[in-house]
A and B are shown apart, each in its own frame.
Chain A
Amino acid sequence: MIEIPAFLHWFALLAQGPGRAAAPTLQLVIKVMDIVVCVKRVAATDSQIKIAADGKSLDPAGIEFVLNPYDEIAVEAALAAKEQFGDSTVTVVTLGSADAQKELRTCLAMGADKAVLINDGGRSQDAFSTAETVADYLKGTAASLIFCGKQAVDGDESQFPPRLAELLGMPCVTEITSLTLEDGSLVAERDIEGAREVVNCSLPAVISTNKGLNEPRYANLKGIMAAKKKPLEEIEAAAIDPATSIESLSLPPARSEGKIVETVDQLVDALKNEAKVL
Chain B
Amino acid sequence: MSNIIVIAEARSGSLKKTSLEAVTAGKELAAKAGGQVIAIIVGNDLSAAKEALAASGADKVIALQSEALAQYSGDGYSAAISGELASLDPACVLMAHSAMGRDLAPRLAANLKTGLISDVTALHYDDSKFGATKPVFAGKAYRKSYFEKSPFMATLRPNNWAGQSDAGSAEVSDASPSVSAADLKAIVQEVVAAASDRTPLQEARVVVSGGRGLKESEHFKLIEDLAAAFGPGVAAVGASRAVVDAGWRPHREQVGQTGKVVAPTLYFACGISGAIQHLAGMSTSQFIVAINKDANAPIFKVANYGIVGDVFEVLPALTAAVKATV
- Please report A residues at the B interface, Cβ cutoff 8 Å: 43, 45-47, 49, 51, 58, 69-70, 126-128, 131, 153-167, 170-175, 177, 187, 190-202, 205, 211-212, 241-252, 255-256, 258-265, 267-268, 270-272, 275, 277-278
In the complex, chain B residues whose CB is within 8 Å of the CB of A245 = 145-146, 148
Give the nearest-CB partner of B143 in chain A.
A249
* Main DSSP-derived SS at the B contact region: mixed
Q: Is the Cβ of A172 less than 8 Å from the Cβ of B138?
A: no
Q: Which of A157, A170, A198, A241 has the most CB of B within 10 A?
A: A157
- Please report B residues at the A interface, Cβ cutoff 8 Å: 11, 16, 72-75, 78, 98-100, 102-107, 109-111, 113-119, 131, 134-149, 185-194, 197-203, 251-252, 254, 257-259, 265-266, 276-277, 280, 283-284, 286-290, 295, 300-308, 314, 317-318, 321-322, 325-326
* Main DSSP-derived SS at the A contact region: mixed
9 further contact pairs, Cβ within 8 A, besides A158-B106, A245-B146: A127-B118, A153-B138, A157-B119, A194-B200, A197-B188, A200-B187, A252-B283, A263-B307, A271-B266
Q: Is the Cβ of A268 less than 8 Å from the Cβ of B325?
A: yes
Q: Is the Cβ of B304 less than 8 Å from the Cβ of A173?
A: no
In the complex, chain A residues whose CB is within 8 Å of the CB of B325 = 268, 272, 278
A275/B136 contact (C-beta < 8 A), A162-B103, A195-B194 known: no
In the complex, chain B residues whose CB is within 8 Å of the CB of A278 = 322, 325-326
Q: Is the Cβ of B148 less than 8 Å from the Cβ of A243?
A: yes
Q: Is the Cβ of A159 less than 8 Å from the Cβ of B116?
A: yes
Q: Is the Cβ of B107 less than 8 Å from the Cβ of A49?
A: no
Question: Closest approach, in angstroms, between the C-beta of A113 and any C-beta of chain B?
Answer: 27
**Cα(A165)–Cα(B73), bound, Å:** 13
Q: From the candidates B103, B114, B138, name the one contacting A174 in the complex (CB within 8 A).
A: B103
Question: Closest approach, in angstroms, between the C-beta of B220 and any C-beta of chain A?
Answer: 18
**Cα(A47)–Cα(B119), bound, Å:** 21
**Cα(A66)–Cα(B304), bound, Å:** 33
Q: Is the Cβ of A162 less than 8 Å from the Cβ of B306?
A: no
Q: Is the Cβ of B304 less than 8 Å from the Cβ of A259?
A: yes
A195/B106 contact (C-beta < 8 A), A46-B276, A252-B283 known: no
Q: Is the Cβ of A243 less than 8 Å from the Cβ of B137?
A: no
A211/B259 contact (C-beta < 8 A), A171-B186, A193-B98, A258-B305 known: yes
In the complex, chain A residues whose CB is within 8 Å of the CB of B302 = 255, 258
In the complex, chain A residues whose CB is within 8 Å of the CB of B197 = 194
